[in-house]
Amino acid sequence: MTKILVTGITGTIGKGTVEHLLKKGFPADQIIGLTRKKEEGINLAAKGIEVRFGDYLNYDSLLRAFKSVDKVMLTSAVAFSDRFTQHYNVITAARQAGVKHVVYMSIMRKEDSGRIMPEITESDLFTEQVLKSSGLDYTILYHPPFTDILSIYYDSNPYGNGIKVPAGNGKMVPATRDELAEAHAEILSTPGHQKKSYSLGGSETISFAEIAKILAEEKGKPVPFSTITAEEYTGELIAKGTSRKVAKFLTSWVVAIEEGEFEHQSGDLERLLGRKTTNFKKYIESTLA
């Protein structure tokens, strides 16, 4: 039986991946969760999941954690951290420990766009190259923006303040983190995904202008929409208390959405899930309910 280790189990996607493995009937005693703080995995441990300690920046801890593991789900490190070292350590330790297959969670990129998203693109490219030259089997999963947290890009009170972004009709193909975690579980628990990549865009294309319209329709209240410059957007975020580096980071995402960086629909996610993904309107309806 294949033994699977999932990293980042205290985060939404890592924990969701483990839970979907269980839902698919994958044996709990063949699933391992990796966390920097073992006590934080107590809920999964109660379901029969072995929880091991491991820190991406502690190579020896990874070697110990990867013992007798066949597949590793590498949940990418957060932005504003040393993703280069962390991802390199995971892949190298996996190879040394005898792991056969690493699945990596990357960020969707438009083919040949040349765009460098700060804090993300360069480390993603580096990680993918390390994987491809490692001698390990690998699978690369390209994530779109997340449906369930699109609100981080606009005002927390759109009904009172409207949506003002450096974007208009640029489209994206978001998916919820739970849907992406389910796709991870499908790939980890089924054969045939070696040396492949999947673009996990959702079933719906949507713009910020359309988001404003949907929000207005759902509550029967107007949501004024306006396009502002990237500089104005960054400035407004800073004025609300966001640090300059995070404000610029968020701005880069919205500009990339406007310019079509995340609009590719491959159909991969639908095929992995066996259904269409949740659209923004249905997601908002469920949260309001």
> For 165-215, how does the pLDDT look when each residue is reduced to its tens digit (9 = 90+)?
999 989 999 999 999 999 999 999 999 999 999 999 999 999 999 999 999
Mean pLDDT of 27-46: 89
DSSP 201: -
**Within-domain flag for 194:** yes
> In angstroms, rounded to a whole number, what is the distance separating the alpha carbons of residues 276 and 253?
25
Give start and end residues of each alpha helix (H) in 190-243: 208-219, 230-239
Taking residues 133-144, what's their average pLDDT?
98
Helix (H) or strand (E) holding 283: helix 280-288
Is 212 a member of any domain?
Answer: no
Please state the domain count of the chain: 1
Contacts of 35 (CB under 8 A, 6+ apart): 8, 9, 10, 41, 51, 52, 53, 54
Q: Alpha-carbon dihedral of residues 131, 133, 137, 141, nearest 10 degrees?
A: 30
How high is the pLDDT of residue 176? Answer: 98
CATH of the domain at 12: 3.40.50.720
Report yes or no on 107 lying in a domain.
yes
Does residue 187 sit within a domain? yes
Rounded to the nearest 5 percent, the helix, strand and coil shares of the chain are 45, 15, 40
Dist CA 5 CA 68 (whole Å): 10
What confidence tens digit (pLDDT) does each residue in 78-128 have?
999 999 999 999 999 999 999 999 999 999 999 888 999 999 999 999 999
What's the rounded mean pLDDT across residues 37-56? 88
244 domain-assigned = no
Quote the CA–CA distance of 264 and 198 in Å, as a whole number: 11
Tokens 């954690």 -> residue: 65
Residue 59 forms part of a structural domain: yes
pLDDT digits (tens, 9 = 90+) for 222-270: 999 999 999 999 999 999 999 999 999 999 999 999 999 999 999 999 9
User: Could you tell me the pTM of the whole model?
Assistant: 0.97
Residue 137 lies in a domain: yes
pLDDT, mean of residues 273-281: 98
Residue located via tokens 């030259």: 133
CA dist., res. 252 & res. 250, Å (int): 5
Compute the Cα dihedral for 178, 129, 99, 95 and give only its sign: negative
Q: Is residue 38 over pLDDT 90?
A: no
What pLDDT sits at residue 112?
Answer: 86
Which SS3 state, helix, strand or coil, does residue 101 take? Answer: strand
Per the structure, the complete domain to which residue 12 belongs is given by 4-145+175-201+263-278
Residue 273 falls inside a structural domain: yes
Q: Is 243 left (phi over 0), alpha (psi -120 to 50) or beta?
A: beta
